[in-house]
Amino acid sequence: MPSFEFSGKVIETDDEGYLQNLDNWNKEIAVYLANEENIELTERHWELINWVRDYFMKFQVAPAIKSLVKEVGKLENIEDKKEANKFVYELFPEGPAKQLAKIAGLPKPTGCV
Amino acid sequence: MAKTKTAYKVPVLTGEIKVPKVVPGASAYEKMYHGENDDMTALGFPASLEDGWETKAVGIFKQLLTHNKALKDYMDICVRCGACTDKCQFFLGTGDSNNMPVGRAELMRKVYRYYFTPAGGLFKSLADAEPFSERMIKKWFTYYYQCSECRRCSYYCPYGIDTAVITMAARDIMDGIGLGQKYSTQIINKVFKIGNNLGIPPAALRNTLDDLEEEMKDATGKDVKIPMDEEGAEVLLVPPSADFFAMPHMESLAGYAKVFYKAGISWTVSSYASEAANFGMFIGNYKNTKEINKRVWDEARRLKVKRVIVGECGHAWRALYNYSNTMNGPFDFLDNKYRQPAHICDFTLGLIKDGVIKMDPSANDDKIVTYHDSCNVARASRIGEMPGGQFTVPRELIKACANHFFELRDGANRAQTYCCGGGGGILTDEVMNVRIAGSMPKMQVIKEVMDNNGVNFLALICAICKTQFTKMYPLYGFDAEMVGGVHQLVSSAIVL
Ligand code: SF4
Ligand code: SF4
Ligand code: SF4
């Protein structure tokens, strides 16, 4: 199984670098994973990271894109859905399902998506 | 750890499809991840490749040849006429001769001749025969996962040889010896454990549906509901789970919901049968296909519905329309006044024709629409009552919802459609370059109608097609929002 070393600990990932074990996640690892994606985490990123993690803890799955966009609208006071969607992609250019999930330590959503 | 991102090779769009220079092995570098142990065993396969796999592979191959008459014929009757060579989008995109349908099939025929024909065993080189070997099985794993089982080749073969059948058999043999593909096996395991490809549990599903209901209320002022697990509803709607998660897929779910609302027909989705797709078919495994298919009919019984309607999903429609009866029928507990299962496009169009619901096509006047025939619908099934309904029903529905519609070029349309490049279990990121290559022919003809007719919306009825094109469009320099479902058009045009 692929893995990387972090503060003296071996962290296992899947083939694409998503954490194998949710509990291995912490803020430092999030910064490291974000760095691998060329993303510098800001307050705005953290709001979403924390929200999807909470969502995942509650529902055992990442939120649908629409639900995420709705939440962004609330958090950032963006009325327009299209603008909120654009905002998400500005933060996570490769898409929320892929990059946001990865940095938040969640498994990659797979299916016909 | 994290792979350095390889730059994608994106073809230049000229509107023309040229036959490429043949380079054997050109696309050998992209391979699927291997199936993970838990997933493989959950599906009834060995966890990984074990010693002595060759003998086991021959055994499974032999069984398939006995049970699957077509496969045996396809091994024997090819005359190598070459009619299929330039018909596969993956050959056209990669130039790899192993991606010519006849080249792909030869990988299996060589092995077939060695073990199952008298000449093959005796005069190996003359008969072009080869035993299973490490090298051969690696080739199988590469090229039988660069086929989308789209059956375009079979349309052109004078003998009707269907390479998709060969691909499915090859995948089944590989799974049987523990050489699985991660993407499909992981997804099938999620269906068994949770109920759908994406692994959305009931509470999450309800939460998502609540959000969509709220959005529709904000947008329309109407209480359009999406009932879940409602016993006694008239209709059980089974969409691909992408409709519960992704964009643009979810816009179609809103479309279905508005149709039921306006028609006043009670309906429900199910948290148990929350997946129309059937990846068992992709891996060519009868047992898994049947199990997945069975979930829908078990749930129809449990919820005591009268009809089953399938959402926008290409191969799901094939799996449910073509195989349900033989695998899990008969369905005499349903109301046989209706087609069982019925396609959502057929259902919606029927309601329009009967005057039950009305469309205002001017609502889509910002769109100039074209339509991509999804392979599994176009070449492997039918929609509605009439022959060719799989072509006419979606088109009639689109035209009822939009004033501007243009067809794609003949030869790349209807039964001759190219695959989107992501079907048949290859919609996974580790083979992105193969997906891009495979999308090229269809993208060329789409580019043609963009240039000539100003087309700015590609209407689809397949979850995989939607995801694949949404991914491809930006790579080719187009906006992903130019891709959407037929019921997305319905959603904006329906008069509520
Ligand atoms: S068209 Fe049919 S017979 Fe001709 S080479 Fe292809 S598979 Fe063989
Ligand atoms: S089934 Fe489709 S993808 Fe497979 S070889 Fe034939 S044309 Fe190519
Ligand atoms: S993904 Fe769509 S176009 Fe591709 S094989 Fe499936 S139905 Fe056909």
Q: Where are the domains of chain B?
A: 49-177, 194-493
For B59: left if phi > 0, alpha if psi spans -120 to 50, otherwise beta; the answer is alpha
Interface of B with A (CB under 8 A): 1-3, 33, 182-183, 186-187, 190, 196-201, 203-204, 207-208, 211-212, 214-215, 240-242, 244-247, 249-250, 277, 313, 427-430, 463-464, 466-467
B/e letters for B311-334, b = 16+ CB within 10 Å, e = fewer, are bbbbbbbbbbbebbeebbeebeeb
Amino acid at B169: A
**Structure tokens that stand for B138 in this block:** 């690696």
Task: Write the residue with the smallest CA distance to atom 3 of ligand 1.
Answer: B78
Q: Is residue A108 part of a domain?
A: no
Which residues does chain A have within 8 Å of residue B251's beta carbon, measured at their own beta carbons? none
Dihedral over Cα of B71, B72, B77, B80: its sign? positive
Q: How far apart are CA B324 and CA A52, in angstroms?
A: 38
Closest ligand to Cα B164: 2
- What's the predicted TM-score (pTM) here? 0.96
Per DSSP, the residues of B35-51 read PPHHHHHHTTS-SS--T
Q: Which of B273, B192, B195 is nearest to B229 (CA)?
A: B273
Q: Does residue B126 have a pLDDT over 80?
A: no
pLDDT value, residue B119: 83
For range A50-76, the mean pLDDT:
95
Determine the average pLDDT of the residues in A71-87.
Answer: 92
Residue A111 placed within a domain? no
Q: What is the CATH number of the domain that holds A25?
A: 1.10.10.370
Choose, out of B192, B205, B245, B275, the residue to mutate when testing the contact with A (most A CBs < 10 Å).
Answer: B245
Confidence grade of residue B127 (pLDDT, cut at 50, 70, 90)? confident
Residue A8 pLDDT > 70: yes
**Is the Cα torsion angle A32, A34, A40, A45 positive or negative in sign?**
negative
Q: B309 pLDDT exceeds 70?
A: yes
Residue A70 lies in a domain: yes
* Ligand 1 atom having least distance to the Cα of B77: 3
Which residue has its alpha carbon closest to ligand 3 atom 5? B423
Give yes or no for residue A97 having a pLDDT over 90.
no
> What is the tens place of the pLDDT at every residue in B129-153?
999 999 999 999 999 999 999 999 9
Decide if B241 contacts B196 (C-beta within 8 A).
yes
A64 CB neighbours in chain B (<8 A) are: 208, 211, 244-246, 250
Average pLDDT, chain B: 96
User: A12 in a domain, yes or no?
Assistant: yes
| CA B249 to ligand 3 centroid distance, Å | 15
Residue to substitute in B85, B109, B157, B166 for testing ligand 1 pocket (most ligand atoms within 8 angstroms of CB): B157
Residue A37 with chain B: CB contacts under 8 Å: 2
Provide, rounded to the nearest whole percent, the portion of chain B with pLDDT above 90: 96
Closest residue in A to B314 (Cα) is: A112
Class of domain B49-177: mainly alpha
Task: Please name the residues between 25 and 44 in chain A that touch chain B, using a CB distance below 8 Å.
Answer: 33, 36-37
Q: What is the pLDDT of residue B124?
A: 74
To the nearest whole percent, how much of chain B has pLDDT over 70? 99
CA angle B249-A66-B269, nearest 5°? 55
- Domain extent at residue A29: 3-103
Those residues whose C-beta lies under 8 Å from the C-beta of residue B212, and which sit 6 or more positions away, are: A66, B226, B250, B253, B254, B257
Is the CB of residue B435 below 6 angstroms from any atom belonging to ligand 2? no
Residue A110 domain-assigned (yes or no): no
CB-based contact (8 Å) between A61 and chain B? yes
**How would residue B6 be classed by pLDDT, with cut points 50, 70 and 90?**
low
* Count of domains forming chain A: 1
Predicted confidence band at B120 (pLDDT cuts at 50, 70, 90)?
Answer: confident
Q: What is the mean pLDDT of residues B181-192?
A: 98
